[in-house]
Amino acid sequence: MFFCSSTIQSVKIEKMKYKIFILFCIIHCLTSCIKTKKDLPLIIVGYTLQDLKNPYFQALANGCRDRARELGIEIIIKDGASSAEIQAKQIREFIQMNVDAVICSPVESNSMIKLINECHDKGIPFINPNQKIEGADAQIALNEYDFGVAGGSIAGRFIRDVLQGKADVLVLSYLPETNLLQNREKGLIDGIHNYAPQAQIIARVPAHTPELGMVETEKALINNPTIKIIVAINDSGAIGAYEAVKTLGLDGPDFCVVGLDATSQAIEKMKHPDSIYRGTVDIDPYGSGKLIMDVTWNVLKNGPLNQTMQFPMTSVTKENLVLY
């Protein structure tokens, strides 16, 4: 049978159209089956932290952001600015936004209980890192007393080994109007006395920021020049104390400053030659931020957790400083 060239060309064109049609159908099926990130239901989480001026919470927030990005969660982080009133306002804003979960590292625990109920009334789970709030759907906690003991023990061993077991001590604590960190402060003092029972606590002042740490330490050293040991409720206050001691020219081999949190700023001070910043305690704030997001994800998928997750804890001194 004989076909003219125009007929053959028409057949080829029709076959090509058919192939293109089939290819289009395949692509359409594939793209309709594969959901992009924009197509997936967006999970939004609101987190109010105690105080973003504190390097510990800065690192914690960074860990949360990075892990949230990996999980495909949008996280809104707000600064509680050391105010329970501000945190309450922020949580109510999260509720109005109808977020999928609320996370709160509280400035003051008791005032948050009512807000947990408000979240639950709207079907929003409440995740509670750091200081415990009754009624939360999950808690990621730190044993505050043991945390304090770990830091106090560093100072206590210094008193025992360098000052023959006797020293006057300044304690930098938290805000006096809250009971937020009383167990941590008690642990600091007990940790000192475990190794140096004759050490005297001659002053306790609220100083949880670098600014307060510097101002309050200068006052205390002027009024009590026999102070040789400063233990702080966190590295933030201890860094201010460190700067005050250096400014006053008291940073000799018989002086000791100890903080808590192992912030990058504190580690840097410890690495200075002949540093009086003798130790801190690492609770891995960046890694803890990631853990908070993992726990939040678990609660969103599986419901409330019956057990309390624990933050890790490691003492940091010149002996293991090389690891940091």
Task: Indicate the domain borders of the chain.
Answer: 43-142+285-312, 144-282
pLDDT of residue 225: 96
Q: What are the start-end ranges of the E strands in 174-226? A: 200-206
Looking at 5-19, 182-196, 278-292, which range is the least confident one? 5-19
pLDDT in tens, 129-162: 988 899 999 999 888 899 999 999 999 999 999 9
CA angle 167, 237, 257 (to 5 degrees): 30
CATH for the 43-142+285-312 domain, from 2.60.40.10, 3.40.50.2300, 2.30.40.10, 1.10.3210.10: 3.40.50.2300
- For 46, 100, 243, the CA distances from 97, given in Å and listed in that order, are 9, 9, 43
Asked if residue 298 has pLDDT above 70, the reply is yes
pLDDT in tens, 175-195: 765 566 889 999 999 999 999
The Cα 302–Cα 103 span in angstroms is 17
In 3D space, the residue among 100, 43, 105, 99 whose CA is nearest the CA of residue 69 turns out to be 43
Burial status of residue 24 (CB atoms within 10 A of its CB: 0-12, 13-18, 19 or more): exposed
Q: Give the other-Cβ count within 10 Å of 33's Cβ.
A: 7
pLDDT of residue 248: 96
pLDDT in tens, 31-60: 444 434 344 458 999 999 999 988 889 999
- For 158, 165, 180, 236, the CA distances from 192, given in Å and listed in that order, are 9, 10, 21, 20
pLDDT in tens, 217-236: 999 999 999 999 999 999 99
pTM of the model as a whole = 0.73
pLDDT of residue 289: 96
Residue appearing with tokens 């939004």? 44
**Element (H or E) spanning 161, and its range?**
helix 144-162
Q: Which fold has domain 144-282?
A: Rossmann fold (3.40.50)
Asked if residue 101 has pLDDT above 60, the reply is yes
pLDDT in tens, 74-96: 999 999 999 999 999 999 999 99
pLDDT in tens, 243-279: 999 999 999 999 999 999 999 999 999 999 999 999 9
pLDDT of residue 147: 95
Same fold, 43-142+285-312 and 144-282: yes
In 3D space, the residue among 255, 229, 231 whose CA is nearest the CA of residue 151 turns out to be 231
Q: Give the other-Cβ count within 10 Å of 272's Cβ.
A: 12
Residues 6+ apart with CB under 8 A from 139: 128, 129, 132, 133, 305, 308, 309
* Tokens coding 309: 């997750």
